[in-house]
A and B are shown apart, each in its own frame.
Chain A
Amino acid sequence: MGAQSAYKQNEVQELFYQAEQLSSSNVRDQIVEQLYKKSNELIKEGVSFTKTKHDQRTEKLDAIFTSPIWGFPIMLIMLGVIFYLTIAGANIPSSMLASFFGWIEGYLTLMFTTLHAPDWLHGVLVLGLYRGTSWVISVMLPPMAIFFPTFALLENYGYLPRVAFNMDRLFKTVGAHGKQSLTMAMGFGCNAAAVMSSRIIESPRERMLAILTNNFVPCNGRWGTLIVLASLFMAAGFTGGMKSLVTTSVIVGIVMFGIIITFLVSWVLSKTALKGVPTHYTLELPPYRKPKFVDTVIRSSLTKSLSVLKRAIKVAAPAGILTWVLANIQVGDTSILLHIVNFLDPLGQMIGLDGYILMAFLIGLPANEIVLPILLMGYLSTGALIDVEGIEDLKQIFLNNGWTWLTALNMMLFSLLHYPCGTTLVNIYKETKSIKWTFWSFMIPTGIAFLVTFLITQIVRFMGWV
């Protein structure tokens, strides 16, 4: 009996070896292809369809939306249109909100003067914290109130599954799962939520890829930064509709860059640390449905925009106070803030940023929404107080602190590529239960962010473009 088992064991090993030799990565493809071919054959024989009008419409639309030729251009145009609507449509409400907050600010200043509050306190609390937060609200709220409902309408209409369908082949080429495009779409809203949504991917390997690269999709916390910097510095020479168009193109470019990085990182990881072949899956393409317009718009703008905003304000206040404390406690002859800024400055200069910007990203770890206000507080706390009247004057603050278009571009790229926010990191740990992968989900983006901005800065400086 023992001898027989041993003999069998040998034989099994040999069989496995033989199978391994014969096996190739396209065996599964062949199997699936044949299965579907057979299914199709059976259906042709045994099932007849009298098509309803609705089905025909879905089929016709699918022929366009998922066409190998038109699929991608349509996707790009849709993306562009959403961003353009968001940016152009947000201009007027943004400036209205800004002047509303400016009006309140007048009263706040009046209150501070009546109370004989010291100038620095007024500077930090009103000109820094209040103005920073209200800028972020006036800049972020209108785009969000446009972006989320538009996106939700497309989703309810049934277009998003078609995006996943179009993207599937690309993801497969880089060794990732087609459903990753759905988690990416989610990332436009919030990376932390998107990390959780990666549960729709069954295979642990592909799920990890989706989690690790989700950060390269700018979440709404970073929209504010991207839109402000793009319109202030990239579209500086333009006005009116043209300005929105240029801003849109810059934003679309930034998003595309993030997607390219996603593919690159997925590809490298699936060839190294997360080796494997992509699994097959069934993607259901639901029929196109007319979305419930009012319902969708109200639900998505209320729940999504407001919850995001609440979070921003909740984090902005403590972070503002932290910045204030750092700026006002003196160690030696300068404040802690300046110590940090001076310490970070050489590193910042190397990648085309400065110490203040890096400090803002550090303090902004809990939420990307507050990076810009913290940065403003930092700049203003050094006494470079100037009278700012609106978003356009924001540019003056940046220019006074030595900004160029290169600084703006690098800050946008750094914002796009750097480590995920605190909430996202916590979610990554919860989902992966791995300190190692949470660590890498911090390190990979950060490394890429430094590398990209460093290269751009060195090239631009070498060529003498700045």
Chain B
Amino acid sequence: MTKSFRIALAGNPNTGKSTLFNLLTGLKQHTGNWAGKTVDLKAGTFTFKTNQYEMIDLPGTYSLFSNSKDEEIARDYIVFEKPDVTLVVLDATALERNMNLALQVMEITDRLIICINLIDEAEKMGIKINEKVLMKRLGVPVIKISARNKSGIPMLLDTIDRVVTGAIQCTPYQMTYDEETEKKIALLLPTVEKISGNKFPARWLSLRLLDGDTNLLQQIQQKITIMEG
């Protein structure tokens, strides 16, 4: 039986996200529609084993703070469209700078795979990445690939398969912040949980509220009202 799953592709600009997207989806690309939003996202399909996958290429962003329209789009897609798995593509040559995006995505969803791209270039520059350590610390699969050289792709596909079928359970590392921020989160959390239910990441929503982003919770409230009504 064929099942279909949705994969969101997130990452900083210039990390070879599009190369990976093109490699996996080939010519089967179309403009993905997203109900109620006036943005066009590139989407493509591919099959692996018996499953059908739709891959959505989110805009390249450095963070998910809704500094810009692109960041908002990427964030909203992961929060509201709840893809079956989110691939976070990181640049192996600038892993430290890229990592904060992965940490942010991990606050939103527990179904994600970290995909370290440009590994060939990094090795040339003398950067050695121990993905097993990262995997242990982060609690999610970490796969090294080079989309340009098509290396590491079978491993990536297999991991995607095992995450969507539930063979791998991710337990993403959750950021802890400074004491003051944590105290504030704890104050907001009970009420946020009551409103968002178990469908949305309450801790992260509380953090967004502290950062002055009330728009997000309003959207969630509307969504829930619609679902209930």
| A12 interface hit (Cβ, 8 Å) | yes
| A463 interface hit (Cβ, 8 Å) | no
| A35 interface hit (Cβ, 8 Å) | yes
Cα-based distance from A205 to B187 in the complex (angstroms): 31
Q: List 16 A-B contacts (CB under 8 A).
A: A8-B195, A8-B221, A12-B195, A16-B209, A23-B211, A23-B212, A27-B211, A31-B207, A34-B175, A47-B129, A49-B127, A51-B126, A202-B68, A202-B70, A282-B62, A284-B97
Centre residue among A43, A50, A203 by max chain B CB count within 10 A: A43
- State whether B175 touches A30 (Cβ < 8 A): no
Cα-based distance from A48 to B133 in the complex (angstroms): 12
Among A15, A34, A284, point to the contact of B188 (Cβ < 8 A): A15
- State whether B126 touches A52 (Cβ < 8 A): yes
Per-residue CB proximity of B47-69 to A under 8 Å, as 1/0?
A: 00000000000000011010111
Min CB distance B130 to A, Å, is 5
Among A23, A42, A50, A280, point to the contact of B128 (Cβ < 8 A): A50
Among B62, B178, B228, point to the contact of A30 (Cβ < 8 A): B178
Given contacts A1-B229, A15-B192, A30-B177, contact A36 B100 (CB under 8 A): yes
Given contacts A12-B217, A202-B68, A282-B97, contact A19 B127 (CB under 8 A): no
- State whether B209 touches A48 (Cβ < 8 A): no
| A281 interface hit (Cβ, 8 Å) | yes
- State whether A31 touches B211 (Cβ < 8 A): yes
**Which A residues between 1 and 16 are near B, CB-CB below 8 angstroms?**
1, 5, 8, 11-12, 14-16
Min CB distance B144 to A, Å, is 11
- State whether B214 touches A47 (Cβ < 8 A): no
Q: Which residues of B contact A28 (CB under 8 A)?
A: 65, 211
Among A8, A39, A50, point to the contact of B99 (Cβ < 8 A): A39
- State whether A281 touches B126 (Cβ < 8 A): no
Cα-based distance from A14 to B225 in the complex (angstroms): 18
Q: Which residues of A contact B100 (CB under 8 A)?
A: 32, 35-36, 38-39
Interface size class of A (residues with CB under 8 A): 35 or more
- State whether B210 touches A23 (Cβ < 8 A): yes
Cα-based distance from A49 to B128 in the complex (angstroms): 6
**Shortest 5 CB-CB distances between A and B: which pairs?**
A202-B68, A39-B99, A50-B126, A19-B209, A46-B133
Q: Which residues of A contact B67 (CB under 8 A)?
A: 202-203, 279-281
| A40 interface hit (Cβ, 8 Å) | yes
Nearest-neighbor residue (CB-CB) of B125 within chain A: A52
**Which A residues between 32 and 66 are near B, CB-CB below 8 angstroms?**
32, 34-36, 38-40, 42-43, 45-52, 55
| A115 interface hit (Cβ, 8 Å) | no
| A22 interface hit (Cβ, 8 Å) | yes
**Which A residues between 48 and 99 are near B, CB-CB below 8 angstroms?**
48-52, 55
Count B-side interface residues using an 8 Å CB cutoff.
53
**Which B residues between 175 and 202 are near A, CB-CB below 8 angstroms?**
175-178, 180-181, 184, 187-188, 191-192, 194-195
Q: Which residues of B contact A31 (CB under 8 A)?
A: 177, 181, 207, 211
Cα-based distance from A42 to B100 in the complex (angstroms): 10
Among B104, B128, B195, point to the contact of A15 (Cβ < 8 A): B195
Q: Which residues of A contact B129 (CB under 8 A)?
A: 46-47
| B155 interface hit (Cβ, 8 Å) | no
- State whether B209 touches A39 (Cβ < 8 A): no
**Which A residues between 89 and 137 are near B, CB-CB below 8 angstroms?**
none
| B95 interface hit (Cβ, 8 Å) | yes
Cα-based distance from A370 to B88 in the complex (angstroms): 54
**Which A residues between 373 and 417 are near B, CB-CB below 8 angstroms?**
none
Dominant secondary structure of chain A at its interface with chain B: helix
Cα-based distance from A22 to B68 in the complex (angstroms): 24
Cα-based distance from A281 to B181 in the complex (angstroms): 21
Cα-based distance from A178 to B19 in the complex (angstroms): 31
- State whether B96 touches A40 (Cβ < 8 A): yes
Q: Which residues of B contact A14 (CB under 8 A)?
A: 191
Given contacts A20-B212, A34-B178, A49-B126, 19 further A-B contacts (CB under 8 A): A8-B221, A11-B191, A15-B188, A16-B217, A19-B210, A22-B210, A27-B181, A27-B212, A34-B175, A34-B181, A35-B103, A39-B97, A45-B134, A45-B137, A46-B131, A47-B95, A50-B128, A52-B126, A281-B62
| A307 interface hit (Cβ, 8 Å) | no
Min CB distance B182 to A, Å, is 10
Q: Which residues of B contact A272 (CB under 8 A)?
A: none
Nearest-neighbor residue (CB-CB) of B102 within chain A: A39
- State whether B103 touches A47 (Cβ < 8 A): no
Min CB distance A9 to B, Å, is 8
Cα-based distance from A280 to B187 in the complex (angstroms): 26
Cα-based distance from A43 to B134 in the complex (angstroms): 8
Q: Which residues of A contact B195 (CB under 8 A)?
A: 8, 11-12, 15
| B138 interface hit (Cβ, 8 Å) | yes
Q: Which residues of A contact B131 (CB under 8 A)?
A: 46
Cα-based distance from A20 to B188 in the complex (angstroms): 11
Min CB distance B204 to A, Å, is 11
Cα-based distance from A31 to B209 in the complex (angstroms): 13
- State whether B127 touches A47 (Cβ < 8 A): yes
Nearest-neighbor residue (CB-CB) of B100 within chain A: A35
Cα-based distance from A280 to B71 in the complex (angstroms): 12
- State whether B187 touches A22 (Cβ < 8 A): yes
- State whether A43 touches B211 (Cβ < 8 A): no
Nearest-neighbor residue (CB-CB) of A279 within chain B: B67
Among A18, A34, A46, point to the contact of B187 (Cβ < 8 A): A18
